[in-house]
A = this chain, B = another copy of it.
Amino acid sequence: MTRPMNVLQDFKQGGPLDLYRGRARFDWKALKLALETPEVVDYQNQLYAELQRHEEYQAEGLPSASFDEQRRRACRQSLTYKSIELLSIGYQLQNLKFPFMATTVMMQLAPASTIKFNVAHTLFTDAIRTLGTGRHAHFLQQAEEGVISGCYCLTEIAHGSNVKAMRTSAVFDKDKQCFVLNSEGFEAAKCWAGGLGQVATHAIVYAQLRSKQQLHGLHCFVVPIRDPRTLLPFPGLLVGDMGEKIGLNGIDNGFVLFQNYEIPKENLLNKLGDVTEQGDYVTPFKDPSKRHGAALGALSGGRVVITGICAAYGVKALTIAVRYAAVRKQFGPSEQGPEVPILEYQTHFSVDSALGHNKERLPELGAELHAISSASKPLAGWSMRDAIQECREACGGHGYLKVAGLGDIRNDHDANMTYEGENHVLIQQTSNWLLKFWPLVERQQPIATPLRSADFLSRGLEILRGARIKARTVAELCEPDAIIPIYQWLVCHLLQTTHDKLAAEGAKGAFWGRNNCQVFRAKSLGVAFIQHFVLQVMLEKIEQQSDAEIRAVLRQLFSLQALFWLEKLHMATIYQGGLAQGGATATLIQDAVLELCAQLKDQAVALVDAVAPPDFVLNSPLGASDGQVYKHLQAALLSAPFALSRPAWWQDIATWKSKL
């Protein structure tokens, strides 16, 4: 990078946000540069500028585009992404954080188009790269050139989370040296694949491989779907569109049914398993379940990205709500607001650092990363879901306007609960991983994982023994030295009680056993574990800050986040396990939350300034950086073509009236 650093622009002065900006005890620019390196901030600003130049990304007016027009627009936007150099693989390799920053920026600007782009250009090609071999290089080449466009077909109509039960079959035909794909009726149709509905020319298809009458489990195939020149589907396929959704309508999620559909033998992605010309099955794996795990591994990275996407949505919603709250006057300042911002910054931190740390010890790292990503996506997903909703309600009636933007954020974000692993199902992966450590804890043996997320479990018995919350004042309780031990105790206690409950339920069989200890136990365990990890990572980041003011405000956010979660989610457990006795502790935690909110109220606008996207991305009259809420609202309402005109069908009313 030789380009000179782009200077961060000051916000225009003289508006209603000046008051709160003046009260900030830190410099928002310094905070921005503390959260991201100057190089990344510079990249972000370049990307904003580049995207704003393209006509495709200009904000739409009202009324919203039709379903078909949304599709067309998303297609255009995702193809345009491909032409932007800042988004090219080559450029992004310069800095490991560029791809994350790019996704944040793109998701804040145009979520559906961005997901379309990522499925076609990352998910599709990553699967080929991870599971394919040299013979599949031409697919990568063609995808890179934009000649073909891929999608990813795992889910079926009747099975989603339960991947092993997928029923699409791929039978090897020795004579023709091909695989024959079949769907057992509509329930086995592949579905939901983004891009499949209207435009994909190729699909990664997960199917049960059979050869010589023998089943070998799920394998991946590259399957031609549409002729790239005509975009018409090939015979033997019934391909269609899933239609309208709650949000993300720019994505053409599709379904496909195979009827004796033949594909070349070579289209099997054969790194983990292959079929010889004779039809014999060969695999480097002895344990089929290991192969199965590896075949699905491609998804783990996606989850980390989604954690970041949740944060990106959250930032947008918070920017709108915090700025509006600072401008809107109703009796006096609302007191709901300040609780929310804190939900944000932590998740923002965790993503980077989970990846930044330690690249050796890959297999173990893989398992730990899987456990972390399987919990961080649900935590980020649910936290942001609630935060977005709080923001919507905090903006009152005007928050219910389409132009405010909060409805779209909520509706788009909603899908994050479900795809790349349904949240409730996913978080079980984390608790299962943790449960494996319990025998070591009991025997007081050392536990050391690559990212050190569970190392404190080595001291598990000690942590549990006679633990008590000792803080007696709000100030004492807000100290990291008081907070971190509480979370470590929570994880140890929930691990122990989940383990005990599992043992007690064992008689009902493993499936029912696990099922019966999810609510109040295993799920809370996964949540507490990831919260502890996020708080740890956040703390490390804070301690690295040299600016005392920034350290101070981040410390407040740290304490507020930690205590807010305790109050909202863990109070019962704290008393159940005896970490507190007597009411004083609960009161202390609540007092601390309220005091931190009060302290941060005047910092909220500046905090948001440090993470807010520019106005053209935010695209909300309530959240504009100049705070001219009513001016922008007036412009937005009056600019709609129908705002002041009589409806074309006005005479119908007269007709109906006269029929009364």
A residues near B (Cβ < 8 Å) are 62-64, 66-68, 71-72, 75-76, 79-80, 82-83, 145-147, 155, 157-162, 186-187, 191-192, 198-199, 229, 231-232, 238-247, 255, 328-332, 334-336, 339, 385, 389, 392-393, 396-397, 399-403, 406-407, 410-411, 414-415, 417-419, 422-424, 511-512, 515-516, 518-520, 567, 571-573, 575-578, 580-583, 586-587, 589-590, 594, 630, 633-634, 636-638, 640, 642-644, 646-650, 652-654, 656-657, 659-660
Contact = CB atoms under 8 A, between A and B. Distances in A.
B79 A643 contact: no
Stoichiometry, as copies per complex, reads 2
Contacts of A389: 385
Given A244-B403, A575-B580, A590-B520, A634 B199 contact: no
Contact of A332 (B146, B243, B423, B511): B511
Nearest to A403: B243
A264 to B, nearest CB: 24
Contacts of A590: 520, 572
Given A242-B637, A582-B578, A649 B72 contact: yes
B72 A647 contact: yes
Given A418-B400, A653-B199, A657-B147, A581 B578 contact: no
A638 B515 contact: no
A158 B572 contact: no
B68 A240 contact: no
Contacts of A573: 586
A329 B162 CA distance: 9
16 contacts: A62-B244, A63-B67, A63-B244, A68-B647, A147-B657, A161-B330, A162-B330, A240-B643, A240-B644, A242-B401, A246-B402, A331-B511, A336-B424, A393-B417, A400-B418, A575-B575
Nearest to A511: B332
Contact of A231 (B332, B586, B646): B646
Contact of A63 (B68, B400, B417): B68
B652 A76 contact: yes
A83 B659 contact: yes
Contacts of A519: 335-336, 339, 594
Contacts of A330: 159-162
Nearest to A659: B83
A115 to B, nearest CB: 13
B246 A630 contact: no
Contacts of A332: 511-512, 515
Given A63-B243, A159-B330, A161-B330, 8 more contacts: A64-B67, A231-B650, A241-B644, A242-B401, A243-B636, A245-B400, A399-B418, A576-B583
A186 B542 CA distance: 45
A201 to B, nearest CB: 10
A401 B583 contact: no
Given A159-B330, A244-B63, A231 B572 contact: no
Contact of A633 (B63, B79, B157, B649): B157
Contacts of A644: 238-241
B241 A643 contact: yes
